């Protein structure tokens, strides 16, 4: 067994965990983050991509609205490469109550969320696909944010400050000595090795899985209620501005332009198991109807992919940390010393990606209090690696980057303009990664053909670059195709049926991937 | 008025048009673009898996279920149609025996059964004890030589024997300063004997000793004996391995068939869609061409509809799952895609078996078996009953049903 020693172990490689490990490391704690799979593979990678202006909460949750507005401005400063300044509209659709917009504007004023009503004609000029029957339009400072860029930016920053970020490390047990947490036991899944990490504090940031983690420390069960929502990515940027429906928050009321697509979301359905989140067809239909209400003809547009994410809602009011007045209702911190008599562990739930940095600040503050330390938070000031120039992401950035090397460097994924050198560089940096892990950072296979042309190239490169033998490279290809399908079959209609048939002609017809020799055990990571 | 209008320039449409013209019929071949051959691997599959690997495809056709398109044509006619096409194209383009499958390596190193293949591919037949040297071209991204060789080396040949394979690479630009060429760029370069000789020399330098040197399928676009020249210069057999689109071997078949169709006097109209039809009672009198100047009717006594399947948009699924055939509104074997879409990637996808039912003559029928239009015949991928890419039957279905349609129109006279 391998043994490490640190001050604090952070469990969970989503935005919360990465925010926390970065914050702790910047305050001088020795910190290790454990993630059972890859970073951003849970809730952080399964949302609609909205960087909230706060507008959505000005009426329903004023505290969250103010937090969002402040954090929105901070993330634009410190994680510019993950944020696109799309701007946003709240529009009153035909049939919606136009009086809500007045409530909205009042709420915005009260919460400090910048919002200006603009003439309908101006909104239609800027977003000509909007239903021309809209009654009112309010402009806000929404953006879109790439959850994976966000967590990897935070991860690189944390590592620069001395933290360790260990992916594919599954926590198996949290050891205690008397009434204190003493170590976290985990399994290094890639190397098949057990690891013990001695520590004095554990921060449980496992989101929808936080209940399972708390139980491993012998704490009373924490009730996590995964609130599942589905999203559908459409092939084009049907809009270039985030479109919100100007109503009290409901299902299917946001359309977000992210990278080269636009994402419609979302639903909210209680689930029991965060590892099994369906994408029900009825909910897909609900999203298409919602899209149609904002953008006439939406159903004729091409849907590329659907996914399902889980809000990490924790329902446990028994004991929380003393000072929650700065925390919005969605955020919950469970102090296990009061709740379970277990010192050295906090569990965090709720929250939003937009406010992930602030959540981390609160949690590490709470840890400071328990440890009797006074180390101030500095995460709002320092840009993460890659965002030092504070230049916001633009949708054309890859075209710009390819301009220089376009005659020297072949494109492996044409849909997303991913060059061979981009892929090979990351492949060597993360030789244990699956093609999906690389996809989350490079967008491999996320465009219209959904991997039809690039997947076999990627597997071939993994083999040629000697990070995988032919058996593993084949397993990676099979795994990638299987995973892509999870998000394709629920939206299989229109032009995507045609694309799927072409992809089948390539993989089954020409390449006969199905009849490649199978490894004894299917490669799953 | 023509004797026949053929819609679609894939393997089915081209075959039907040629067969009709050979029988002396006046034909218009109309297509919105180059057909599916550009996307194919350039072989003629009849039946590769059923679901186990098939060695004798015509024999296996005999045991297919009645709903399979091959079943309504019959093994003998399938074999006859494929042989006729092979004779038309000649041994420089297609060789093999429709009664026996050959197993050829793919561009990921699997071993794929097919009936007829191009002569440039045949030395690759995977048999026990064979040694492959797989040589990639650095500039070609769809030929992962290391993965191909690695997978072949850990495979067992269908005859049960072991295989040996290794990989090597050459660095040879087809055009200076072009980092991202398509296979077609190389194929055109190979039409120049000097470039092919340079290529052969580079391959010989790295290939090492092997029974066969496996190369990306770029050995000539127009010149069909490049593979012979390369093999002679290397001093070893060579085989081409087809790659994902654009497919050079597929384009060779397309070019050859289209040239024959035109030589045979067929009028070829490319670039406009057929959007609808006119009829007199059930009889189709014309199809409507969305020409640049406006809709134009193309009249004929008979019509062969060979638009392809889901991949070409010939079968449409709307956002609520409704499946339709948009040109003639033909009855399909299913109208709702929802229950047919599978959540499991590996395995059958019954959605893609949906298509048009036909009578024994190849005419669309409704669910009760009644013929919809007495002078409309369908051929190829639109016909229901087979997941063609999975069982490797698409080309055989296309050729056999195209020949059936043509022979019905000519009354079998040629």
Q: What tokens were used for A176?
A: 């205690």
Mean pLDDT for the stretch of residues B121-136 = 98
**pLDDT above 90 coverage of chain A, percent:** 86
Q: Do B318 and A494 touch (CB under 8 A)?
A: yes
Which stretch of A76-90, A182-196, A214-228 has the lowest confidence by average pLDDT? A214-228
Mean pLDDT for the stretch of residues A251-256 = 90
B 299-318 → A contacts, CB under 8 A = 309-313, 316-318
Domain A2-43+148-224+312-371 annotated CATH 3.40.605.10: no
Check: CB of residue B241 under 8 Å from CB of residue B106.
yes
Higher pLDDT, A273 or B19: B19
Judged on CB neighbours under 10 Å (0-12, 13-18, 19+), A375 is middle
Q: CATH topology for B2-92+252-410?
A: FAD/NAD(P)-binding domain (3.50.50)
Token pair 């940390």 in the structure block, residue: A321
Q: What is the pLDDT of residue B394?
A: 98
Q: What is the pLDDT of residue B49?
A: 98
Check pLDDT > 70 for residue B412: no
Per residue in A29-48, pLDDT tens? Answer: 999 999 999 999 999 999 99
Interatomic CA distance for residues B262 and A141, integer angstroms: 61
Q: What is the pLDDT of residue A324?
A: 38
How far A247 CA sits from the closest chain B CA (Å)? 26
CA count, 13 A, side-chain hemisphere, B342: 12
Banded pLDDT at A317 (limits 50, 70, 90): low
Q: What is the pLDDT of residue A327?
A: 42
Check pLDDT > 80 for residue A326: no
CA-nearest residue of chain A to B138? A410
Q: Which of A489, A492, A516 sits opposite B109 (nearest CB)?
A: A516
* A18 close contact with B: CB closer than 8 A: no
Q: What is the pLDDT of residue A111?
A: 97
**pLDDT above 70 coverage of chain A, percent:** 97
Interatomic CA distance for residues A198 and A174, integer angstroms: 10
Q: Which string of DSSP letters, residue by residue, matches A91-160?
A: EE-TTS-TTHHHHHHHHHHHHT--EEEE-HHHHHHHSTTS-TT--EEEEE--EEE-HHHHHHHHHHHHHH
How far B356 CA sits from the closest chain A CA (Å)? 17
From chain A, pick out residues whose CB is under 8 angstroms from the CB of B349.
504
Banded pLDDT at B77 (limits 50, 70, 90): very high
Per residue in A127-173, pLDDT tens? Answer: 999 999 999 999 999 999 999 999 999 999 999 999 999 999 999 99
Handedness of CA A45, A475, B249, B402 (dihedral sign): negative
* B164 close contact with A: CB closer than 8 A: no
Output the CA angle B130-B39-B148, nearest 5 degrees.
Answer: 25
Which stretch of A263-277, A458-472, A502-516 has the lowest confidence by average pLDDT? A263-277
CA-nearest residue of chain A to B47? A509
- Structural domain boundaries of chain A? 2-43+148-224+312-371, 52-59+76-143+226-307, 397-515
Q: Do B39 and A515 touch (CB under 8 A)?
A: no
Q: What single DSSP character describes residue B383?
A: B
Judged on CB neighbours under 10 Å (0-12, 13-18, 19+), A132 is exposed
- Pairs of residues, one from chain A and one from chain B, whose beta carbons lie less than 8 Å apart: 163
Check pLDDT > 50 for residue A71: yes
From chain B, pick out residues whose CB is under 8 angstroms from the CB of A418.
none
* Sequence-ordered list of residues with C-beta below 8 angstroms from that of B78, at least 6 positions apart, any chain: B46, B58, B61, B70, B98, B396, B399, B400
Check pLDDT > 80 for residue A67: yes
* B111 close contact with A: CB closer than 8 A: yes
- Structural domain boundaries of chain B? 2-92+252-410, 122-241
Q: What tokens were used for B58?
A: 């015509």
Q: What tokens were used for A258?
A: 């992210």
Interatomic CA distance for residues A398 and A417, integer angstroms: 7
Mean pLDDT for the stretch of residues A98-115 = 97
A 296-315 → B contacts, CB under 8 A = 299-300, 303
Question: Is the fold of B2-92+252-410 the same as that of B122-241?
Answer: no
Mutate to test the interface with B, among A510, A511, A513, A523 (most CBs of B within 10 A): A510
Report the complex ipTM.
0.98
Q: CATH topology for A52-59+76-143+226-307?
A: D-Amino Acid Oxidase; Chain A, domain 2 (3.30.9)
Q: Has this prediction a pTM greater than 0.90?
A: yes
Per residue in B371-393, pLDDT tens? Answer: 999 999 999 999 999 999 999 99
Interatomic CA distance for residues A40 and A152, integer angstroms: 8
Check: CB of residue A200 under 8 Å from CB of residue A8.
yes
Per residue in A3-30, pLDDT tens? Answer: 999 999 999 999 999 999 999 999 999 9
Check pLDDT > 90 for residue A522: no
Q: Do A463 and B179 touch (CB under 8 A)?
A: no
Interatomic CA distance for residues A309 and A47, integer angstroms: 6
> What integer best gives the mean pLDDT of chain A?
94
B122-241 CATH, one of 1.10.4160, 3.30.1490, 3.40.50, 1.10.287: 3.40.50
Q: What single DSSP character describes residue A505?
A: I
Which stretch of A35-44, A73-82, A271-280, A415-424 has the lowest confidence by average pLDDT? A271-280
Q: What is the pLDDT of residue A227?
A: 86
Per residue in A193-249, pLDDT tens? Answer: 999 999 999 999 999 999 999 999 999 888 887 889 999 999 999 999 999 999 988
Q: Do A493 and B41 touch (CB under 8 A)?
A: no
Mean pLDDT for the stretch of residues A110-124 = 98
Q: What is the pLDDT of residue A382?
A: 97
Q: What is the pLDDT of residue A249?
A: 84
Check pLDDT > 90 for residue B17: yes
Q: What is the pLDDT of residue A58?
A: 95
Check pLDDT > 90 for residue B325: yes
Interatomic CA distance for residues A504 and B346, integer angstroms: 11
Interatomic CA distance for residues A336 and A321, integer angstroms: 9
C-alpha radius of gyration, chain B, whole number: 22
């Amino acid at each position: 067994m391998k043994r490490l020693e640190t001050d604090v172990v952070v469990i969970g490689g989503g935005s919360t965990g990465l925010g926390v490990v970065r914050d702790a490391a910047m305050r001088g704690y020795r910190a290790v983050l454990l993630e059972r799979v890859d970073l951003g593979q849970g809730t952080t990678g399964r949302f609609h991509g909205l960087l909230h202006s706060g507008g959505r909460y000005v009426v329903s949750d004023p505290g969250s609205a103010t937090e969002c507005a402040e954090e929105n401005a901070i993330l634009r400063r410190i994680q510019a490469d993950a944020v696109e300044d799309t701007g946003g509209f709240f529009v009153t659709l035909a049939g919606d109550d136009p009086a809500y917009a007045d409530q909205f504007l009042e709420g915005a004023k009260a919460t400090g969320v910048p919002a200006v009503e603009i003439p309908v004609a101006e909104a239609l000029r800027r977003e000509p696909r909007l239903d021309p029957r809209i009654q009112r339009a309010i402009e806000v400072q929404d953006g879109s944010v790439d959850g994976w860029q966000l967590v990897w930016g935070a991860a690189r920053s944390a590592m620069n400050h001395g933290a360790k970020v260990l992916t594919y490390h599954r926590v198996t047990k949290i050891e205690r000595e008397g009434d204190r947490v003493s170590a976290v036991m985990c399994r290094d899944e890639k190397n098949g090795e057990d690891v013990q990490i001695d520590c004095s504090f554990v921060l449980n940031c496992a989101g929808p899985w936080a209940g399972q983690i708390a139980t491993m420390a012998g704490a009373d069960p924490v009730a996590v209620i995964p609130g599942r929502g589905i999203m559908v990515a459409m092939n084009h940027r049907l809009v270039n501005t985030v479109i919100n429906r100007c109503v009290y928050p409901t299902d299917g009321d946001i359309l977000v332009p992210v990278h080269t697509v636009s994402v419609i979301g979302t639903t909210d359905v209680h689930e029991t198991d965060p590892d099994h989140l369906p994408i029900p067809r009825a909910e897909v239909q609900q999203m298409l109807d919602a899209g149609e209400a904002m953008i006439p003809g939406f159903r004729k547009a091409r849907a590329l992919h659907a996914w399902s994410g889980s809000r990490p809602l924790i329902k446990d009011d028994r004991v929380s940390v003393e000072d929650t007045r700065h925390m919005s209702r969605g955020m919950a911190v469970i102090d296990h010393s009061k709740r379970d008599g277990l010192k050295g562990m906090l569990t965090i739930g709720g929250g939003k990606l937009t406010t992930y940095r602030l959540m981390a600040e609160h949690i590490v503050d709470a840890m400071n209090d328990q440890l009797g330390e006074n180390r101030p938070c500095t995460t709002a000031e320092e840009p993460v690696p890659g965002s030092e120039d504070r230049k916001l992401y633009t949708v054309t950035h890859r075209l710009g980057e390819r301009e220089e090397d376009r005659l020297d460097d072949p494109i492996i994924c044409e849909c997303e303009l991913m060059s061979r050198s981009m892929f090979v560089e990351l492949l060597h940096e993360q030789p244990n990664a699956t093609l999906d892990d690389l996809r989350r950072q490079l967008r491999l296979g996320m465009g219209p053909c959904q991997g039809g042309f690039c997947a076999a190239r990627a597997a071939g490169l993994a083999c040629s670059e000697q990070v995988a033998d032919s058996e593993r490279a084949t397993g990676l290809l099979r795994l990638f195709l299987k995973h892509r399908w999870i998000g394709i079959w629920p939206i299989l209609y229109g032009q995507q049926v045609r694309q799927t048939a072409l992809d089948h002609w390539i993989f089954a017809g020409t390449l006969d991937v199905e009849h490649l020799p199978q490894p004894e055990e299917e490669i799953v990571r | 008025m023509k004797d026949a209008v053929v819609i679609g320039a894939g393997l089915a449409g081209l075959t039907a048009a040629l067969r009709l013209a050979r029988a002396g019929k006046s034909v218009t071949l109309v297509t919105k673009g180059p057909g599916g051959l550009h996307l194919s691997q350039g072989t003629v599959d009849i039946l590769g898996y059923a679901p186990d690997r098939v060695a004798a495809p015509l024999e296996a056709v005999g045991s297919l279920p009645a709903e399979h398109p091959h079943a309504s044509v019959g093994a003998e006619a399938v074999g006859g149609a494929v042989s006729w096409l092979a004779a038309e194209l000649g041994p420089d383009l297609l060789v093999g025996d429709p009664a026996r499958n050959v197993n050829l390596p793919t561009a990921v190193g699997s071993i794929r059964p097919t009936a007829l293949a191009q002569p440039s591919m045949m030395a690759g037949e995977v048999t026990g004890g064979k040694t492959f040297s797989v040589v990639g071209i650095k500039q070609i991204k769809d030929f992962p030589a290391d993965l191909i060789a690695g997978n072949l080396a850990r495979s067992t040949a269908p005859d049960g024997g072991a295989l040996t394979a290794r990989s090597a690479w050459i660095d040879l630009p087809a055009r200076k300063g072009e980092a991202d060429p398509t296979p077609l760029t190389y194929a055109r370069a190979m039409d120049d004997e000097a470039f092919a000789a340079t290529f052969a020399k580079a391959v010989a330098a790295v290939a090492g000793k092997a029974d066969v040197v496996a190369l990306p399928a770029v050995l000539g676009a127009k010149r069909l004996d490049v593979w012979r020249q390369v093999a002679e210069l290397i001093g070893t057999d060579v085989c081409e391995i087809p790659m994902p689109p654009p497919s050079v071997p597929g384009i060779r078949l397309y070019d050859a068939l289209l040239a024959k169709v035109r030589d045979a006097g067929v009028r070829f109209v490319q670039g406009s869609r057929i959007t609808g039809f006119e009829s007199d009672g059930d009889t189709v009198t014309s199809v409507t061409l969305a020409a640049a100047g406006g809709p134009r009717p193309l009249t004929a006594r008979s019509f062969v509809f060979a638009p392809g399947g889901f991949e070409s948009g010939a079968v449409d699924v709307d956002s609520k799952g409704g499946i339709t055939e948009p040109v003639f509104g033909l009855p399909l074997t299913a109208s709702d895609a929802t229950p047919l879409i599978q959540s499991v990637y590996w395995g059958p996808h019954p959605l893609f078996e949906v298509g048009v039912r036909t009578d024994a003559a190849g005419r669309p029928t409704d669910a009760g078996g009644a013929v919809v239009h007495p002078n409309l015949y369908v051929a190829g991928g639109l016909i229901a009953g087979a997941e063609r890419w999975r069982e490797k039957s698409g080309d055989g279905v296309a050729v056999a049903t195209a020949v059936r349609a043509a022979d019905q129109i000519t009354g079998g006279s040629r």
